[in-house]
């Protein structure tokens, strides 16, 4: 899929997402693949808790039943309506893949690839027999490094053969910020093992504890590679040392939300001057790229630190660092002792997950990641009808029209900026369901009995596919998510909103339901993605996806003041323990949530104007709109996962994506006849869009 630097998704991209009350059930080992989706209604009164006053805690009122009835399965960091739907999608894909793995005749080339990939992945005994042997070619290359001059060729090989953000840095293909039609090389920062630079820089007890556990984990991995405990201990300390230095030189997530902080275009000479000890000509050549003239160095200070490391570290330290990142990236595909050690730290310690996901889930996810367009075609054929595409497209257009009316009616924005905003809105492209053009996998070979080989060849195919875009015009048909994904995103450089088929299913979009909950739920999500084009980050890109200021100074000031209201509001909410929301990190998402539901409300009122709507399930149509919205967000979360997400996730927890939003909508207050002074009635409401 596309490498996307700035695209913003509806949920955290890494699927993981407090509720210690219900006991954790075991991951269901008796689960079977399915051939049709279990139906879950778009608004479910059994998921509500009607003993709660909606004006006191609307999230609890809408989701209390769901939270009680849906304890977190043992193999999950969080459990949510989205997570459950994703699991249904996975079981459905499992059915497809299981059949294609067994079927030997009559498969088309894509079906052969995904079937054999899955079959080889499921053969755990064969994988276990190999132990660490599949790492040998990588370790030999790293072991053969003598001087820094050897490094570029080895790094280019590793960068294109294993999937990792690690290994010092990474070169990717991305649209030029000042010319969105052209794809150039981005030299990005990376190279950390922990999920964020803050894990290395924070000095509280919990951060220190996690660092100590991380170093112990790195040591155990080196021991699994055959090093003695003494040697492994020293190696783990070296890894921490190198990574801590890189972390200090990395931007924070909040800093990375400002696109100007990530845009430093240089020519080849400029890149070479930044890191004199690294032979970029050799790296570019070894990566199979033509000589390049334009690079965007996203974080120059990071590259200065890379240079410092190359200059001051003995080669043995750099080899240790590279060996660690290689085994870390490959551990999920190796024998069970590697899989478990990797799980124990990254899932159990960091996110509180008691149990490893069953192998079928890991294999389905991997086929989706490696051969997503081949698997996606099978999914779409069975699960996404043209009628459904048409219905959701119509809703998208209605919400776009609502936004046009909304922009025209704004009192804080002048006519010049309004005209630019409307142009951006009209040029925004809607992508619904699946790509118009599927990726061609003819060049990649998948063999029935060769799991590790399949992983390597598909990884190399994807890396090649990405690098080959550099120097070419952008392909506007491309997607950054696969069709079965239960998520959505806006991409400010493509200026498009993307809704995979996987997210347009019940209970999120339910064709059997009345309009109210569908507009609240899926309509709210469509509005959310649209609003991203105009949040604090998206608003800096113009109608063509270029980083170009189209705001008058006065209008920009008015926007910032309105956005600050949202930032101040969410800063007061507690995630877990004494951790508050980092609302400068969640600013864009919180603005998108609020703007999105206001637009969905406008579109729904328009759609149903003149209709005589009647109450259902004891709820008025207006109330059903809001409960329908809230029920997408029903979530049970583990405390460890909440702590991790407080650092890494730009989205607020589900509870505040509901309660923090409705307090800003007078329509909500009226729908539930709430009174001034009640918790869900805010005196000074925020409103951006
Ligand atoms: Zn979003």
List average pLDDT for each run of 10 residues in the chain, which is 689 residues long: 64 47 47 89 96 98 98 97 95 97 95 98 97 96 97 97 88 96 96 97 96 98 98 98 98 97 97 97 95 94 98 97 97 97 98 97 98 97 90 94 96 97 97 95 97 97 96 95 95 96 94 95 96 97 98 98 98 97 98 98 95 95 98 97 97 98 98 97 96
User: Crossing angle, helix 336-343 and helix 205-224, to 10 degrees?
Assistant: 170
- How many whole angstroms from 592 Cα to the centroid of ligand 1? 6
pLDDT in the model for residue 19: 34
Compute the CA torsion angle 673, 68, 47, 508 (nearest 10 deg).
Answer: 110
Distance CA 584, CA 525 (A): 21
- How many whole angstroms from 539 Cα to the centroid of ligand 1? 14
- How many whole angstroms from 492 Cα to the centroid of ligand 1? 12
**8-9 and 489-491: which strand pairing?**
antiparallel
| H or E element, residue 493 | none
- How many whole angstroms from 432 Cα to the centroid of ligand 1? 16
Q: Kindly report the three-state secondary structure assignment for every residue of 91-121.
A: HHHHHHHHHHHHCCCCCCHHHHHHHHHHHHH
| Tokens 């033509």 found at | 290
Radius of gyration of the chain (CA): 25
Residue 376 is given by DSSP the state H
Distance CA 358, CA 91 (A): 12
- How many whole angstroms from 494 Cα to the centroid of ligand 1? 15
Distance CA 334, CA 346 (A): 16
pLDDT in the model for residue 8: 77
- How many whole angstroms from 342 Cα to the centroid of ligand 1? 30
- How many whole angstroms from 58 Cα to the centroid of ligand 1? 21
User: Within a 10 A sphere around the Cβ of 52, how many other Cβ atoms?
Assistant: 16
| H or E element, residue 439 | none
Q: What are phi and psi of 561, to 5 degrees?
A: -65, -40
| CA-closest candidate to residue 441, choices 114, 212, 18 | 114
- How many whole angstroms from 247 Cα to the centroid of ligand 1? 26
- How many whole angstroms from 585 Cα to the centroid of ligand 1? 12
pLDDT in the model for residue 22: 39
- How many whole angstroms from 329 Cα to the centroid of ligand 1? 28
Residue-level length of the chain: 689
Cβ(516)–Cβ(625) below 8 Å = yes
Q: Which residues contact 269 (CB under 8 A, 6 or more apart)?
A: none
Q: What DSSP letter does each residue of 130-178 carry, written as one string?
A: HTTGGGHHHHHHHHT--SGGGHHHHHHHHHHHS--S-SSEEEEEEEETT
Q: Kindly report the three-state secondary structure assignment for every residue of 386-419.
A: HHHHHHHHHHHHHHHHHHHHHHHHCCCCCHHHHH
Cβ(193)–Cβ(239) below 8 Å = yes
User: Within a 10 A sphere around the Cβ of 565, how many other Cβ atoms?
Assistant: 16
Q: What are phi and psi of 271, to 5 degrees?
A: -65, -45
pLDDT in the model for residue 11: 78
- How many whole angstroms from 525 Cα to the centroid of ligand 1? 8
- How many whole angstroms from 588 Cα to the centroid of ligand 1? 7
Cβ(80)–Cβ(630) below 8 Å = no
Checking 107-115 for CB contacts under 8 A at 24+ apart, the result is 109/441, 109/442, 110/371, 110/374, 110/377, 110/441, 111/374, 111/378, 112/446, 113/371, 113/374, 113/441, 113/444, 113/446, 114/367, 114/371, 114/374, 114/375, 114/378, 114/446
Q: How far, rounded to the nearest angstrom, does the alpha carbon of residue 117 sit from its chain's CA centroid?
A: 24
Distance CA 577, CA 460 (A): 43
pLDDT in the model for residue 17: 33
- How many whole angstroms from 384 Cα to the centroid of ligand 1? 23
- How many whole angstroms from 488 Cα to the centroid of ligand 1? 8
Cβ(34)–Cβ(383) below 8 Å = no
Q: What are phi and psi of 632, to 5 degrees?
A: -70, -25
- How many whole angstroms from 405 Cα to the centroid of ligand 1? 22
- How many whole angstroms from 13 Cα to the centroid of ligand 1? 11
């Amino acid at each position: 899929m596309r490498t996307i630097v700035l695209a913003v998704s509806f949920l955290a991209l890494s699927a993981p997402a407090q509720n210690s009350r219900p006991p954790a059930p075991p991951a269901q080992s008796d689960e079977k693949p399915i051939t049709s989706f279990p139906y879950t209604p778009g608004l479910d009164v059994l998921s509500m808790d009607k003993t709660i006053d909606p004006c006191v805690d609307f999230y609890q009122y809408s989701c209390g039943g769901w939270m009680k009835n849906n304890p977190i399965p043992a193999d999950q960091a969080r459990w949510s309506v989205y997570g459950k739907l994703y699991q249904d999608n996975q079981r459905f894909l499992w059915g497809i893949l299981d059949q294609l793995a067994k079927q030997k005749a009559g498969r088309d080339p894509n079906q052969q690839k995904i079937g054999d990939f899955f079959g080889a992945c499921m053969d755990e005994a064969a994988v276990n027999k190999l132990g660490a042997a599949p790492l040998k070619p990588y370790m030999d290359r790293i072991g053969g490094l003598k001087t820094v001059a050897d490094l570029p060729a080895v790094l280019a090989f590793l960068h294109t053969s294993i999937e990792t953000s690690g290994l010092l840095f990474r070169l990717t293909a991305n649209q030029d910020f000042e010319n969105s039609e052209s794809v150039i090389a981005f030299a990005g920062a990376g190279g950390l093992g922990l999920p964020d630079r803050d894990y290395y820089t924070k000095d509280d007890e919990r951060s220190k504890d996690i660092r100590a556990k991380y170093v112990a984990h790195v040591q155990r991995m080196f021991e699994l590679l055959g090093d003695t405990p003494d040697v492994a201990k020293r190696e783990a300390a070296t890894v921490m040392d190198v990574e801590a230095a890189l972390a200090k030189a990395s931007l924070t997530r909040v800093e990375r939300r400002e696109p100007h902080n990530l845009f430093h275009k240089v020519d080849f000479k400029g890149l070479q001057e930044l890191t004199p000890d690294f032979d970029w000509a050799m790296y570019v050549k070894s990566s199979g790229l033509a000589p390049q003239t334009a690079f965007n160095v996203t974080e120059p200070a990071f590259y200065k630190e890379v240079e410092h490391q190359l200059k001051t570290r003995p080669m043995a330290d750099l080899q240790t660092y590279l060996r660690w990142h290689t085994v870390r990236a490959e551990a999920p595909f190796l024998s069970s002792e590697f899989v478990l050690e990797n799980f124990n730290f990254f899932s159990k310690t960091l996110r509180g997950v008691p149990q490893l996901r069953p192998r079928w889930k890991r294999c389905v996810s991997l086929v989706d990641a490696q051969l997503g367009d081949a698997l996606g075609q099978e999914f779409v054929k069975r699960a996404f009808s043209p009628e459904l595409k048409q219905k959701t497209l119509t809703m998208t257009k209605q919400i776009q029209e609502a936004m046009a009316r909304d922009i025209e009616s704004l009192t804080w924005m002048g006519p010049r900026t309004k005209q630019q905003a409307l142009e951006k809105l009209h040029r925004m492209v809607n992508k619904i369901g699946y790509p118009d053009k599927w990726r061609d996998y003819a060049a990649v070979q998948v063999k029935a009995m060769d799991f590790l080989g399949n992983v390597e060849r598909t990884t190399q195919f994807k890396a090649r596919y990405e690098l080959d875009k550099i120097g070419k015009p952008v392909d506007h048909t491309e997607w950054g998510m696969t069709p079965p994904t239960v998520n959505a995103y806006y991409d400010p450089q493509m200026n498009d909103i993307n809704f995979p088929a996987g997210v347009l299913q019940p209970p999120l979009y339910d064709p059997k339901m009345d309009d109210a909950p569908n507009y609240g739920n899926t309509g709210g999500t469509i509005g959310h993605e649209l609003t991203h084009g105009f949040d604090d980050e998206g608003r800096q890109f113009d109608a063509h996806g270029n980083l170009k200021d189209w705001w008058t100074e006065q209008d920009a000031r008015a926007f910032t003041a309105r956005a600050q209201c949202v930032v101040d509001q969410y800063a007061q909410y507690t995630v877990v323990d004494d951790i508050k929301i980092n609302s400068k990190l969640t600013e864009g998402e919180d603005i998108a949530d609020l703007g999105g539901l206001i637009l969905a409300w406008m579109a729904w009122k328009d759609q149903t104007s003149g209709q005589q709507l009647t109450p259902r399930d004891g709820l008025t149509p207006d109330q059903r709109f809001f409960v329908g919205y809230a029920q997408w967000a029903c979530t049970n979360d583990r405390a460890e996962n909440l702590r991790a997400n407080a650092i890494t996730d730009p989205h607020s927890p589900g509870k505040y994506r509901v309660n923090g939003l409705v307090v800003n909508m007078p329509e909500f207050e009226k729908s539930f006849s709430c009174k001034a002074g009640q918790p869900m009635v805010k005196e000074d409401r925020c409103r951006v869009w």
